[in-house]
Amino acid sequence: MGKRGISPVIATVLLIAMVLVIGLIVFMWLRGLTQEAVTKFEGENIELACDDVQFSASYSEGFLFISNTGNIPIYEINLKILREGSHETKNLKDVSINWPDLGLNQGGTFSGDISSEVSDTNEIILIPILLGRSGEGERTFTCDEQFGYNIII
C-alpha cells in the first residue's frame, strides 16, 4: 500500500521527449538517404560522366605524367598509394605544386615530381575527381576506383 508511482505529468513529459527523439532519428536517417544530385553537361548526373573520363598516365624516375585524352575535364586526381598491407589516399594537388588550378581540360597534360610520396610503394591508382553543379553551387565528385588508372612502379 505504500508504493508510489511516477506522477502523470512526468510520465507525459517523458513520453513526449521519447517521441521527439525517435522522430528526429527517423528524420535524419531519411535525410541521409536522399542526396542532392550533382550534374555535369546540361543536367547529366556526374556519376554517369565518370564512364566517359579517359586519361593516360605513366611514372618514370620520380615523375608522374598525366594526359587527358577524353572530352571530360578532370578537376583533380586522388593518388591511392598501395603499400604492403595498407594504402593511403592523397590529393595530387596537395602533393605537387604543378597541378593546374582549373584541372586538366581536353588535351591537357601534367607532369610533376611525386617521388617523395611513392618512395616505398610499387603500385599507385589515379582516381579522377570531377567538378559539377548542384543547387548549392559547384561541387566536386570523386569517381569510383574502378574508373582509376593503375600504375605499377
Q: Where are the alpha helices (DSSP H) in the chain?
A: 8-33, 46-49, 92-95
Instruction: Give the pLDDT band of residue 116 (cuts 50, 70, 90).
Output: confident
120 within a domain of the structure (yes/no): yes
Instruction: Tell me how far apart the alpha carbons of residues 47 and 141 are, in angstroms, rounded to a whole number.
Output: 8
Residue 30's identity, in one-letter code, is L
Rounded-to-integer distance, Cα 121 and Cα 62, Å:
12
Classify residue 49: in a domain, yes or no. Answer: yes
Model confidence at 129, in pLDDT bands (50, 70, 90)? very high
Q: Report if pTM > 0.85.
A: no
Residue 51: give its domain's CATH number: 2.60.40
Number of domains present in the structure of the chain: 1
Whether 60 maps to a domain, the answer reads yes
Lowest mean pLDDT across 14-18, 31-35, 120-124, 135-139: 31-35
8 in a structural domain: no
Instruction: Give the structural domain span for 131.
Output: 39-152
Which stretch of 12-16, 35-39, 122-126 has the lowest confidence by average pLDDT? 35-39
pLDDT of 1: 60
At 2 the pLDDT is 65
